Amino acid sequence: MKSTSEIAARPEHAPAGAIAAVLRSEGAVAALLVWVVVAIALTMLNGYWVSVAVMMLVWCYLCTAWNLIGGYVGQISFGHGAFFGVGAYCSAYLSTTYGASPWLGMILGMGLSAVLALAVGYIPFRRGLSHLVFALLTLALAYAALYGVSGVRALGGTNGMFMSLDETGLAALRFRDLWPYLIVMAAFNTVLLLVLQVLLNSRYGFIWRATRDNEAAAAASGINLFRSKQLAFAISAAATAVAGGFYAQFVGFIDPHSVLGVHVIIQILLFSVVGGTGTLLGPVVGTFVLFPLGEIMRVQLMSLEAGSHQLVYGVALVAVILLLPGGLIGVLRRAMGGRWFPAFSLAVPHGASAEPLPRRRAAEVEEGAPILIAEAVGRDFGGVVALRSVDLEVRRGEILGLIGPNGAGKTTFFNLLGGSFPPSRGRISLAGQRVDGLAPHECTQLGIARTFQITQTFASFTVAEAVFTAALPGRTFAEARSIAGRVLARVGLEARRDVACAELTLSEQRRLEIARALATGPSLLLLDEVMAGLTPTEVTGVIALVRSLRAEGITVVIIEHVMHAVMELCDRIVVLDAGAVIAQGLPHEVSRDPRVIEAYLGKRAQQFAAAATSGDADRHGGSPNDDV
């Protein structure tokens, strides 16, 4: 288990290594668990418990499939009942009406489910709508499918459909004995678990987890959130349909309520959450514990009043969720401590910092010529004008300071440059190319990288993973690994590479923000208050870092309230107030501009400031973290 770390990092280019990584992973252990159950069922248990084991594996499979979108990408789908039903109905309809093999129907069901998923996910994912909107849309899908099928005569309407009992064999997916069902379902589980493990070890694993942990940071890392979510949802939906096709043949009868009813998704959620989502083992363990327990309880408590077993079950469920956050796997994980599967560790050559940092695009403008031009850019929120009209030029190779009192619109301006939202008016161009209205990941890929005023971390990532993920879009694993190593060394986080992002100090979190931005390979770096709250020593370190970045040819725009740092660092300063540029020029010019002093300190201070020397002016605004 321990050596997973090194191998997990390079599956893309070494097939042998990739296979080894998969075999020693969580997915392989989960698959092994499935086969242990099969072995126990076939050797020690009687037929009834074998049939329970088959249904248990069906649920295990469903939970694993759901876990991809629900656990790894963090989008709760209530619509998996629909995908299950689509698989069941496709396979049932084709086999009973045209005598086609249920396998064919299953494949068709996979395709249909994927298409449905893409259709339902399109707008919420494209527009980046809330989790809840997605959840409720999928719930609506489930109900629409349930009632929709109920009215279709060809599908048996509410009467349901009977599978043909005549044929048996693998092609008909119908067997006289129970054990082949168990083997087939175990095989489905194994394939799904291993495919997911391979995907999770690939770039998609990083992309999906980053999407789940922090959408803003993921997008700023150049990840296309829409594609990330759509891909996961489609795979999850297609996989789910397979279980539906199997279920139809196994039970021999389907009707809308049994395969499309809400209880399908409720069970999936139940097993997954109790087991622990976002891990491959969680849903498997959750199902293996809860499903037999539910069966035992139904039988043992049968003599009691109706409903009592569900009551006990419900109480137990509530207790588990309240008392065991993270599910059963969470408990196991805490108990095992460091012996748990390490997710990832960078196998980067240390001391590679001498190499230049990556650059997404060699800037096509000459040194000193404008790289970024904003023309009359403005943004409104409802009736509130956040940014009136900003005209601004950033010249290649400079460090430009963007200052102004709180609420001046500085961060809004960064958000427009970074693509968080489009401007309401005006145009922005980078090296002659229009960039306004682009999505964040598109801006990142064009060479604009940003940090966030409130640091945005990936909760489940280590420092190295976070930086690696930001370097990944558009590059190979090897390239990304090398970039991550260099960037970590540059920002001074090399020693902390295997620490969870959430455990960093404030200063380290700021460095991680910069590292993430650098890893994308920017030609224009936007730093939003990276020094706020730092000690003077730490501030000095950041200043030196920014200078060295400029020395490598990265253009920097910096929002900062730590005035002495701004004065020391910036070549030019632009002052924003109330959503418009009120002054710009060299630091000492700006610091003496009466409009600036008025904006910062109000009218009365103006006279006081006028009497002061230029050196004093620095100190006036100079106390760290002085928000004035």
Partner 1 sequence: MSLELLLQAAVSGFLMGGIYALIALALALVFGVMGVLNFAHGDLLMIGMYGVVLVSAATGLSPFLAGIVMVPAMMAIGWVVFVLLIRPIVGSAPLVQAQLTIGLSFVIQSAALLWFGADLFNVPSELAASPIRLGAIVISLPLLIGFVVALVASGLLAWFLSATVWGYRVRATAEDPVMAQLCGVPVQRVQRWVFVCATGSLAIAAGCLMGFYHVTPVVGLQFSVLSLLIVVLGGLGDLRGAMVAALVLGVAEALTSAIFNSASAPAALYVLFGAALLLKPHGLLGRGAAV
Partner 2 sequence: MNRFVQAAIGLVVAMAPLMSSPARAEGEEVAIPAITAMSGSTAVLGQDAQKGIEIAVEHINADGGINGRPLKIQVYDTQGEPGVVRQVMERLTRMERAPIILGCEVSAGTSAAAQFAEQAGVPYLNSSAVSAELLERGYKWYFSDQITADSEAATVVDFVEHLMTQGEVVPALLYEDSPRGAGTIERVEALLKDRGIEIAASASYSRSDRNLLPPVKRVQTSGANVVIWAGYTEDVVAGLQAMQQLDFKPYIVGIGGGPGDVRIPQLVDKGFIEAVNLSTADYFNPDMERAQRFVKSYEERHGIVPSSYASMCYRGAYTLKAALEKTLEAGKELTPENLRGALIEVDIPGEQLISPFSRIKFDEHGRNIGAQNLIAQWKDGATKKVTVWPPEVAVEEPNPLN
The residues facing 290 across adjacent strands are none
Least Cβ distance, residue 390 to partner 2 (angstroms): 55
241 binds partner 2, rule: CB under 8 A = no
45 binds partner 2, rule: CB under 8 A = yes
Q: Which residue has the tokens 């968080």?
A: 420
Q: In terms of DSSP bridges, do strands 524-528 and 253-254 run parallel, antiparallel, or are they unpaired?
A: unpaired
Cα separation, 308 vs 446, in Å, equals 61
Which of partner 1, partner 2, none sits in contact with 250, Cβ below 5 to 8 A by type? partner 2
Note whether 33 and 284 are within 8 A (CB): yes
CB contact set of 318 (below 8 Å; sequence gap of 6+)? none
Cα separation, 364 vs 375, in Å, equals 20
Note whether 51 and 235 are within 8 A (CB): no
Cα separation, 380 vs 304, in Å, equals 63
271 binds partner 2, rule: CB under 8 A = no
86 binds partner 1, rule: CB under 8 A = no
Cα separation, 372 vs 504, in Å, equals 33
State the Cα torsion 216-221-223-224 to the nearest 10°. 60
Please identify, among the stretches 91-99, 120-128, 227-235, 470-478, the one whose residues bind partner 1 according to the rule CB under 8 A. 120-128
Q: What are phi and psi of 36, to 5 degrees?
A: -60, -45
10 Å CB burial of residue 167 (0-12, 13-18, 19+) is middle
Which of partner 1, partner 2, none sits in contact with 144, Cβ below 5 to 8 A by type? partner 1
Residues that bind partner 2 (rule: CB under 8 A) add up to a total of: 48
Which of partner 2, partner 1, none sits in contact with 127, Cβ below 5 to 8 A by type? partner 1
Q: Which of 19, 140, 191, 332 binds partner 1 (CB under 8 A)?
A: 140
261 binds partner 1, rule: CB under 8 A = no
Radius of gyration of the chain (CA): 29
Note whether 12 and 480 are within 8 A (CB): no
Q: Which of 16, 154, 306, 362 binds partner 1 (CB under 8 A)?
A: 306
Residues that bind partner 1 (rule: CB under 8 A) add up to a total of: 50
Least Cβ distance, residue 292 to partner 2 (angstroms): 7
- Opening angle at CA 318, ends 314 and 322, nearest 5: 170
In DSSP notation, 252-270 reads SEE-HHHHHSHHHHHHHHH
Q: In terms of DSSP bridges, do strands 399-403 and 572-577 run parallel, antiparallel, or are they unpaired?
A: parallel
Q: Which of 14, 36, 39, 133 binds partner 1 (CB under 8 A)?
A: 133
Which of partner 2, partner 1, none sits in contact with 405, Cβ below 5 to 8 A by type? none
131 binds partner 1, rule: CB under 8 A = yes
Which of partner 1, partner 2, none sits in contact with 129, Cβ below 5 to 8 A by type? partner 1
Please identify, among the stretches 179-187, 312-320, 348-356, 542-550, the one whose residues bind partner 1 according to the rule CB under 8 A. 312-320
Q: What type of residue is 216?
A: A
Please identify, among the stretches 5-13, 139-147, 243-251, 521-529, the one whose residues bind partner 1 according to the rule CB under 8 A. 139-147
Residue 154 DSSP symbol:
G
Q: Which of 322, 384, 495, 551 binds partner 1 (CB under 8 A)?
A: 322
Which of partner 1, partner 2, none sits in contact with 253, Cβ below 5 to 8 A by type? partner 2
Q: What are phi and psi of 181, to 5 degrees?
A: -60, -45
257 binds partner 2, rule: CB under 8 A = yes
List residues near partner 2 by CB under 8 A: 44-52, 55, 147, 150-151, 157-160, 162-163, 165, 176, 178, 247, 250-255, 257-258, 263, 289, 292-293, 295-296, 298-299, 302, 306-307, 309-310, 328, 331-332, 335
> Under the rule (CB under 8 A), what is the footprint of partner 1?
70, 74, 76, 120, 123-124, 127, 129-133, 135-137, 139-141, 143-148, 150-152, 157-158, 262, 266, 269-270, 273, 277, 305-311, 313-315, 317-318, 321-322, 325
